Amino acid sequence: MRIVSIGPDPSLAYRPNLMPEAKEKEDYRNFKTGSLFDRVYNTYKLMHTHQTLDFVKQKHSEWSCCSRTQMSMMEAIMSLDQLVDESDPDVDFPNSFHAFQTAEGIRQAHPDKDWFQLVGLIHDVGKILALWDEPQWAVVGDTFPVGCEFQNSIVFRSNSFQENPDDKNSAYRTKYGIYEPNCGLDNIYMSWGHDEYLYRVLKKNECSVPEEGMYMIRYHSFYPWHSHGDYMHLCNDKDLQMMPWVQEFNKFDLYTKTTDLPDVDNLKPYYQSLIDKYCPGVLHW
Ligand code: INS
């Protein structure tokens, strides 16, 4: 059995200077300084160099049939014990903990919405791609549309796209690029990663996650949109209707990232019951 830290060490009460510092909201998503800066920047530099329209199309055809393996949702979540997300300036522990932290945050604020809690639990499970030898720059990190202009709110926009061939392609580097105004996010190619992959896995396996939840899963890393209001000219009415749900989700995804790690073994039975309801059994990945 795995031993995990269960909440704060009581003896810290007598050694207050060793207490983990409470993080203010403005301390999250610091892409300018911090001990993890190099790791984060290098991941985005590779992502912004290699995520092109052609690359994304190739990944869609590679992964959309979900024929890599079969496993249950809980197995997939627990496999993230082996993954530390190299793009994240706020997390330096395995992603499995972040799954339960997000879900528990949602459970506290939305005790009546079990589907929302389930989404908190599973939203990052597409990062399992990185355990199957996909490079992290093609799995983790914020997402953005390809096939049109890379807008300014993308992290490291000013100094990470110089070697991306699409940034020099006149067909792609305009406001709309290959897309029609208000064509809807569903008709856009997003940079390839865990969001789109999990969305496709859930569709393929006919999981019964409600539409709001599917939007959260598919666009939770699309910070330029949900947190900066960019790319609105590509959205249709449906996207605008769903955006507040993605933003509500984001509060928990981001601000539950603390070094106070949850007792996963204790929480598992409750979350297994949600999995059994919304994405039961053995799934195709
Ligand atoms: C989050 C967010 C973070 C990124 C993570 C992703 O949704 O976009 O910035 O580091 O990989 O899961």
β-pairing verdict for 70-72 and 282-284: antiparallel
- pLDDT tens, 95-132? 999 999 999 999 999 999 999 999 999 999 999 999 99
Distance CA 215, CA 182 (A): 17
User: Taking CA 194 as the corner, what is the angle to CA 83 and CA 145, rounded to the nearest 5 degrees?
Assistant: 135
Interface predicted TM-score (ipTM): 0.97
Indicate whether residue 155 lines ligand 1 (CB < 6 A). no
- pLDDT tens, 250-278? 999 999 999 999 999 999 999 999 999 99
Local structure of 236: helix, strand or coil: coil
Q: Which long-range contacts (CB under 8 A, 24 or more apart) does 199-208 make?
A: 199/126, 200/63, 200/64, 200/66, 201/66, 201/126, 201/283, 201/284, 201/285, 202/279, 204/64, 204/65, 204/66, 204/284, 205/66, 205/279, 205/283, 205/284, 207/278, 207/279, 207/283, 208/277, 208/278, 208/279
**C-alpha 192 – ligand 1 centre gap (Å):** 13
10-24, 65-79, 176-190 — which is least confidently predicted? 10-24
Indicate whether residue 141 lines ligand 1 (CB < 6 A). yes
Residue 17 pLDDT > 80: no
CA-29 nearest atom, ligand 1:
9
- pLDDT tens, 172-202? 999 999 999 999 999 999 999 999 999 999 9
- Residues 30-53 have a mean pLDDT of 98
Indicate whether residue 87 lines ligand 1 (CB < 6 A). yes
Indicate whether residue 164 lines ligand 1 (CB < 6 A). no
| Residue 258 near residue 101, CB atoms below 8 Å | yes
pLDDT for position 22 = 76
Distance CA 53, CA 68 (A): 23
- The verdict on whether residue 141 carries a ligand-binding annotation is yes
